[in-house]
Structure 1
Amino acid sequence: MDAYEKINQLYDLIEQGTVADLPGPYKVGVDLGTADVVLVVTDSDGNPVAGSLRWAEVVRDGLVVDFRGATEIVEELKKEVEERMGVTLEQGATAIPPGTVGRNALACSHVIAGAGLEPVCQVDEPVAAAKALKISHGIVVDIGGGTTGIAVLKNGELVFTADEPTGGTHISLVLAGAYRISFAEAEALKKDCQSHCKIMPVILPVIEKMATVVKDMLAGRNEYHEYPVYVVGGTAYLTGFGAEFSKAFGRQVHVPPHPLLVTPLGIALFG
């Protein structure tokens, strides 16, 4: 099963609330995002077994701002998946935006520990996405709710990583201001595929800013100019996002299927 097939399978498992009949031992990954929390289980070969997702606002700009709420959500997701699988999940991995350090970095591990999962690993989010995509040579751009992070890999080794505070939340703020609606209504508008063509002219400056942020991160690093670029994260769901980001970035970028689930799947592979 190739990388895209695994992502598609994970999407189906989450949407249908089903479990793949695959033997253990199992790996568990928890992605604490700004807009959502995702728990993913794979078998030892990284094939998706089960998963669950909750939209939530317990993290802001990569920082846990509602520790209790985050812990309760992970606990709920864990119980939900355990009941489907008929097993007890005991260990798990999590991820953080590049450059997150100290107590802020430890908070994500404390959350899953509080939910009953022994933390075994914590990785940078774009590194996790690269693992899910099986990239050994390329650039991964992970656009989260509050931040845009990148990871550059050469021959399977991480050679550069960076993170800046621009993400999907900024798109929602622009929509809220432009249409004079609440932030929650802007989030709903952003998730409505039928509205994407209408809102694209409004949010285009934010997409261009994201592309500029990535260009600035890579400024002066001409050796990476020919590397393929992959963009993941919920913002990449927007219809036309890949084309507009490519235009502003000055190079073609690749958007995998169900980009919101790429990083969660990659986190589980480290579990």
Structure 2
Amino acid sequence: METDYSRIKQLHHLIETKTATKLSGPYKVGVDLGTADVVLVVTDNEGNPVAGSMRWASVVRDGLVVDFRGATSIVEELKDEVEQLIGVKLEKGATAVPPGTVGRNALACGHVIAGAGIEPVSQVDEPVAAAKALNIDHGIVVDIGGGTTGIAVLKNGDLAFTADEPTGGTHISLVLSGAYNIPFAEAEHMKRDESQHRKIMPVIFPVVEKMATIVKDMLAGHREYHDYPVYVVGGTAYLQDFETHFSKAFGRRVHVPPHPLLVTPLGIAMFG
């Protein structure tokens, strides 16, 4: 099964232009509560993007909802925006969490979207959602979130292995904050500014290297996955030359899809 990026590109276009495609028939909804952003996506019954909206926000930390009211308010806003675009009321949807999230922490995302008027119908591990969006039947998906790096290994269409460890985009911002003696919020903006990427990469390379090492260690006892293709998603993968540096530290080539921040949100919706 070939990796297909067309849906991701379409979703990016819809969000950037604040437009929607014509919706006829059943639809699916996914809400991704990330550490740095919140994204709501609607697809048709076949998983093709219909509309989407996002906000930069800090309502989640290391996979945990730390600002329940703020998160709920943002999801309500995104829900209203998308409903106006497609002319349909959004009633049910899916969420996702880092692998290994359990108990009340795992339930929190569902409570957030329920508070915003969307009945939670399913919850999936983030890298598994990304694999769904990439149409991967056989391979490894690395999802770098704000606080964690998670992986999902797909074998013949089935989930064979999943794991999650601390270290993510937040750690890059912390390094930038310390290196340039600037507030964390300013470091976050610097990280998102493509014109700064070439300058900051030598500073943050040790964090990228650590992420690659984490993934390498996760797979160390699984030599049967050694030749599986590796895809890296999440906002951190936007960094210029990230693919090259991560591949070098990992020891073999990895692939970064276009618009890697939107891969997991699209996959969540496809589970909705």
Whether these two folds match at TM > 0.5 is yes
1:23 is displaced (CA, Å) by 1.3
Partner of 2:39: 38
Question: Per-residue CA shift, 1:206-237, capped at 9, x if unaligned?
Answer: 00000000011111210000000000000000
Partner of 1:233: 234
SS at match of 1:254: coil
Partner of 1:161: 162
1:3 is displaced (CA, Å) by 2.8
Distance 2:107 2:22 in 1: 34
Q: How does 1:215-254 map to 2 (within 5 A)?
A: 215-254=216-255
SS at match of 1:3: coil
1:24 is displaced (CA, Å) by 2.6
Distance 1:254 1:3 in 2: 13
Runs of 4 or more above 3 Å deviation = none
Partner of 2:141: 140
Counterpart residue type for residue 181 of structure 2: R
SS at match of 1:93: strand
1:145 is displaced (CA, Å) by 0.6
Distance 1:24 1:176 in 2: 48
Counterpart residue type for residue 269 of structure 1: M
Distance 1:57 1:24 in 2: 35
Partner of 1:50: 51
Q: How does 1:66-77 map to 2 (within 5 A)?
A: 66-77=67-78
1:56 is displaced (CA, Å) by 0.4
Is 2:113 the counterpart of 1:101?
Answer: no
Distance 1:74 1:142 in 2: 22
SS at match of 2:30: strand
Distance 1:87 1:225 in 2: 45
1:22 is displaced (CA, Å) by 3.1
Distance 1:24 1:163 in 2: 37
Distance 1:224 1:14 in 2: 35
Contact preservation (8 Å) 2:23, 2:86? no
Partner of 2:267: 266
**What TM-score results when the alignment is normalised by the length of structure 1?**
0.99
SS at match of 2:163: strand
Distance 1:63 1:22 in 2: 33
Partner of 1:18: 19
1:143 is displaced (CA, Å) by 0.2
Distance 2:125 2:234 in 1: 14
Distance 2:104 2:221 in 1: 32
Please give the root-mean-square deviation of Cα atoms over the aligned residues, in Å. 1.0
Distance 2:23 2:156 in 1: 31
Partner of 1:129: 130
> Aligned residues, how many?
271
SS at match of 2:185: helix
Distance 2:23 2:83 in 1: 14
**What TM-score results when the alignment is normalised by the length of structure 2?**
0.98
